[in-house]
Amino acid sequence: PVSTNSEPSVFSRIIAREIPATIVAETDRVIAFKDVAPKAPVHVIVTPKTEQYRDVVELAAGDPALLAELVAVATDVAAVEAGGQFRLIFNTGANAGQTVFHVHAHVLAGRLEEGSLG
């Protein structure tokens, strides 16, 4: 499934270095950067460089190896930033709080801000 968005997502603009972000890990196909509005002491976004999958359901169906690579990058980030203890969250759908329709995982560790999981 291909995204029908006509504009590049905010994450595509980070990947293209059009807007700044604190990048903490990168492979050929995946990038990780700090969330601009952190909900926990460690809050990193991990996302494929391709914009073609809008959520984890589409990614799992369309490219399971890329999903596995994303989880591996998240694991590496969590090892460095949080001693390997972390939450991995994929908000899926607007009613679940998804605001950027370019599949991404949140790596969260440490104490969450009050109300941050709804």
Q: Under the rule (CB under 6 A), what is the footprint of ligand 5GP?
A: 10, 19, 21, 33-37, 45, 91, 97-100
Nearer to ligand 5GP, 16 or 19 (CB): 19
SS3 95: helix
Residue 60 phi/psi, 5-degree rounding, is -60, -40
The answer to whether 102 is a known catalytic residue is no
**Least spacing, CB of residue 54 vs ligand 5GP, in Å:** 10
Nearer to ligand 5GP, 20 or 84 (CB): 20
**Least spacing, CB of residue 57 vs ligand 5GP, in Å:** 14
Q: Per-residue b/e over 53-82, b at no fewer than 16 CB within 10 Å?
A: bbbbebbeeebeebbebbeebbebbbeebb
**Least spacing, CB of residue 46 vs ligand 5GP, in Å:** 11
Active-site hit among 43, 102, 104, 106: 104
Q: Give kind and range of the element (H or E) at residue 72.
A: helix 64-82
Nearer to ligand 5GP, 1 or 20 (CB): 20
Tell me how far apart the alpha carbons of residues 114 and 97 are, in angstroms, rounded to a whole number: 16
Tokens 């999981």 belong to residue: 117
Catalytic positions are 104
